[in-house]
Amino acid sequence: MNDNKLSPSTEAFTGLTLDPQEILPSFTQAANWQERYRALMLLGKRLPPLAEALRQESAQVRGCESNAWLYHREIDGRHYYLADSDARIVKGLIALLLTAVQGQDKKTIAALDLHEYFDRLGLSGQLSPSRTNGVLALAEAIKAAAVESSKR
Amino acid sequence: MEFSQLRSQFPALTQSLGDYPLVYLDTAATSQKPQGVIDAMSRYYQADNANVHRAAHQLSARATSQYEAVRDKVKAFINADRREEIIFTHGTTEGINLVALGLASQLKAGDLILLDSAAHHANIVPWQMLAKQTGAEIVPIPLTDEARLDQDAYRQLLARKPSVVALCHVSNVLGTVNPVKEMIAQAKAVGALTLIDGAQAIAHLEVDMQALDCDFYLFSGHKMYGPTGIGILYGRYEALDKLDPLLTGGEMIKQVSFEGTTFNILPNRLEAGTPPIAEVIGLGAAIDFIQSLPREAVRAHEQALLKRLQAKLKQLGGISLYGAHDDNVGAVAFNLSGEHHQDVGILLDQQGIAVRCGHHCAMPLMQTLGLAGCCRASLGVYSTDEDIDRFIQALKSVKELLL
C-alpha cells in the first residue's frame, strides 16, 4: 500500500511503540465507561499526528464517518503502522488496534481475534459492521496490509 | 391529552441499554412503532396473508380489500382528489427516483431543474441522473445565513423558467420548514412541475394536497410511526399519468404479447410487482394512530419539546446550533464546539442516548455550513421532557469527559 506515494520515515514507524502489558490494564480494570473512554482518548494521544501532507486520500480508510489514515511498513518481517484520525475516540480505538499488532509478524497478526480482543477490553460493539466508527474497516486494512505485503 | 401515557403504546421505548434507560432521539431517521401497527401487520400475516388483486379466493379478496382501503385512507389523510393519485412505493427515495426518471421523455437539453440546497441526497441524485440522461441543467437554490432558502434568489431563478422545482418540506438535518405553499405557487406561475419531499413533515405537520397544490408529494411510512418498506408517492393525476414507469412487469401490465405490451391504468401502472402488502396495512394502522391524537395538541406538545431542547442546548454552553429557529419542526442540529460529532455520538450512546451523527445524507448542506458533520437530536410524539433532560445531562457528561 501507498507505493510511490509520500510515506512516513522508517524511524517514524519503528519509533511508535505500544506495550500491551502497560496499556491494556487501564481498560480491563476500568471501573466504568467514563474511565474506559478517558483511557481511550489518552491512548490516542500516543499516536503522533500525521503531517498534513500525509493526510492524503491514498492513505484514507473507507467506511469511517470520521477521516482516518493508515500507513504500513514491513521491516525485517515485522509489521509497523502509523495512523491518525480527526476524531479522538476513533483515534484511541485505532491506537488499541495498533497495540495488538505493532512490531508483530504476519502470522501473529493474521491469527488475531480482534472481536475477542475488544470484548475483553470492555469495548464490545465498537468493532461491529453496523457502526460508522470505521474501526472494523481499519482492523481489516491492518490485517490485509500485513498479509498482502508479505506476498510481494 | 396526557402524552406521557402515549409512551406505553411503543414497546421499543421501554428498554434500557446497560445501566441507562433508552432515550430515543432519532425519530427523524425512523420513528418507533406503536403496538397497533405491529398488531395490524402480525394479524394480516396470521389471518389474511394472500397476494392482492389476482386470485379468485376469499383470502385474496380480504387482503385486497384491506390493501385498497389504505389507499383511500391515505387519500383522505392528505386530502388528495382521487384514489388513483396515491401510489404505493417502497419509500420516499424510490418515489423521487420514480418521478425523476419518469420525466425523462418530458425534459430536453438545457431545461432547468431547481433544487433545495439543504436537500437529502434522495432529492438530489435522481435529478442528477435525469440531467445526465436529458442534458438538463441543475441549479441549487442558495441558502441565507439563517440556513433558510433564499427567496430573493429563488425568484430570480424562477425568471429563467425552470421545468422542475424540487424542494423538501422540512429539512432532515436542521428541521427548518420551507414556505412550500408560496414557493409552489410561484413555481406553477412560471409553468414548472413541483415536487415536495415530505418525509420529515408528514408525522408533524398537517399536509393537504388541495392547499399545497404541488404536482408530486412524497413520504415514507417508517417516519410516521409505520413500518419500513412502504412509502407514498402522491401525484396530481395529469402529472402522474404522464410519467414513464420506472419498473415494469406484474400488476402494471394490461396486455402483453411478444409484439408489444400495453400498460395498465393508474395507480397500478406505477406499481410493478407484488407490493409490500403487510407494510401497506401497517401504514393504514399508523394513519389510524396519528388520527386518534388531537392534531392541535400534538403540534403544541412537539413545539414545546423542541423549544425546550433548543433552549437547554443553548444554556449548556459550548454548543453550536445550526439553523435553529422557533418555527422549526422535529429536529435540532448541533455540535459540541471543537469536538468531532462522532466522538460525541459514541459517548452519548454509552449513556443510552440515541442520536444521529454524521452528514445526514445532505453533504451539500454540510459544505454550505462548512461542517464535516453534526449531531442531530430529533423528536416524536412519544418524546418527553424527561428525554430531553436526560439527553442534556448526558451531553454535560460528554463535555466533562472530552475537556
Q: CATH no. for residue B190?
A: 3.40.640.10
Could you tell me which chain A residue has the CA closest to the CA of B20?
Answer: A33
Q: Specify the pLDDT at position A151.
A: 54
Domain end marker among B291, B319, B345: B291
The answer to whether position B253 is within a domain reads yes
pLDDT at A76: 94
**Mean pLDDT, rounded, for B172-188:** 98
Do residue B98 and residue B227 come from a single domain? yes
Residues of B with CB under 8 A from a CB of A: 339-340, 342-343, 346-347, 350, 357-359, 372-373, 397, 401-402
Which of A121-135, B161-175, B280-294, B298-312 has the least mean pLDDT?
A: A121-135
A132: which DSSP letter?
Answer: S
- pLDDT of the residue at B341: 94
Q: Per the CB < 8 Å rule, is A65 touching B357?
A: yes
Q: Is the dihedral of CA A52, A58, A61, A63 positive or negative?
A: positive
In a domain, A3, yes or no: no
Same domain flag for B20 and B44:
no
pTM of the model: 0.94
- Indicate if B310 and B397 belong to the same structural domain: yes
**What CA–CA distance (Å, rounded) separates B225 from B217?**
19
B147 lies in which domain range? 38-291
Residue A131 lies in a domain: yes
Cis amide bond preceding B267, omega within 30: yes
Residue B32 lies in a domain: no
Beta-carbon contacts of residue A72 (< 8 Å; ≥ 6 apart): A1, A2, A79, A80, A81, A142, A145, A146, A149
Tell me the helix, strand and coil percentages in chain A, rounded to 5.
Answer: 50, 10, 40
Contact across the interface for A37 and B350, Cβ inside 8 Å: yes
User: What is the rounded CA–CA span in Å between residue B314 and residue B237?
Assistant: 46
C-alpha closest to that of B119 among B314, B367, B398, B346: B367
Res. B249 pLDDT band, cuts 50 70 90: confident
pLDDT at B186: 98
Average pLDDT over residues B271-291: 96
Lowest mean pLDDT among B49-58, B59-68, B266-275, B377-386: B49-58
Closest-CA residue of A relative to B341 is A87
B343–A65 CB contact, under 8 Å = no
Q: B30 in a domain, yes or no?
A: no
Is the residue at B208 inside a domain?
yes
Q: What is the pLDDT along chain A (152 residues), one digit of tens a residue?
A: 445 578 999 999 999 999 999 999 999 999 999 999 999 999 999 999 999 999 998 898 877 678 899 999 999 999 999 999 999 998 999 999 999 999 999 999 999 998 899 999 988 777 766 666 778 888 999 999 998 875 54
Counting every residue written for chain A, the total comes to: 152
Which CATH number goes with the domain that contains A97? 3.90.1010.10
Q: Are residues B50 and B136 in the same domain?
A: yes
Residue B107 has pLDDT above 70, yes or no: yes
Rounded to whole angstroms, how far apart are CA atoms B279 and B54? 18
* B47 and B134, same domain (yes or no): yes
- Exposure b/e, B195-226, CB count within 10 A at least 16 = b: bbbbbbbbbbbebebeebebbbbbbbbbbbbb
> What's the structural domain count of chain B?
2
Claim to verify: residue B68 and residue B200 sit in the same structural domain: yes
Complex ipTM value? 0.89
End-to-end CA distance of chain B: 42
Q: Are residues B50 and B181 in the same domain?
A: yes
| 3-class secondary-structure state, position B209 | helix
Verify that B49 and B144 share a domain, yes or no: yes
Give the span between the Cα atoms of B62 and B288, in whole angstroms. 19
Q: Which of B125, B129, B122, B87 is nearest to B107 (CA)?
A: B129
Check if A55 contacts B (Cβ < 8 Å).
no
Paired with A68 in beta bridges are A85
Query: Which runs of consecutive H residues, i.e. helices, occur in B242-370?
Result: 277-291, 295-316, 341-349, 363-369
Q: What confidence score (pLDDT) does residue B226 get?
A: 98
Cell of A124: 464490545
Q: How many domains is chain A built from?
A: 1
**Domain match, B377 and B347 both:** yes
Query: Dihedrals φ, ψ of A71, to 5°?
Result: -120, 150
DSSP state of B169: S
Instruction: Indicate yes or no: CB of B342 within 8 angstroms of CB of A132.
Output: yes
Q: Of the listed A18, A24, A39, A64, which one is catalytic?
A: A64
Number of other CB atoms surrounding residue B363 within 10 Å: 12
Report if residue B33 sits inside a domain: no
B281 & B189 share domain: yes
Percent over 70 (pLDDT), chain B: 100
The predicted pLDDT at position B3 comes to 84
Return the residue in B20, B26, B340 with the most chain A beta carbons within 10 A, the one to mutate for interface testing: B340
- Domain range for A144 is 12-151
Catalytic residue flag (residue A19): no
Nearest Cα to Cα of residue B167 among B148, B152, B189, B191: B148
Q: Say if B380 falls within a structural domain.
A: yes
Question: Is it the case that residue B374 has pLDDT exceeding 60?
Answer: yes
pLDDT average, residue stretch B364-392: 96
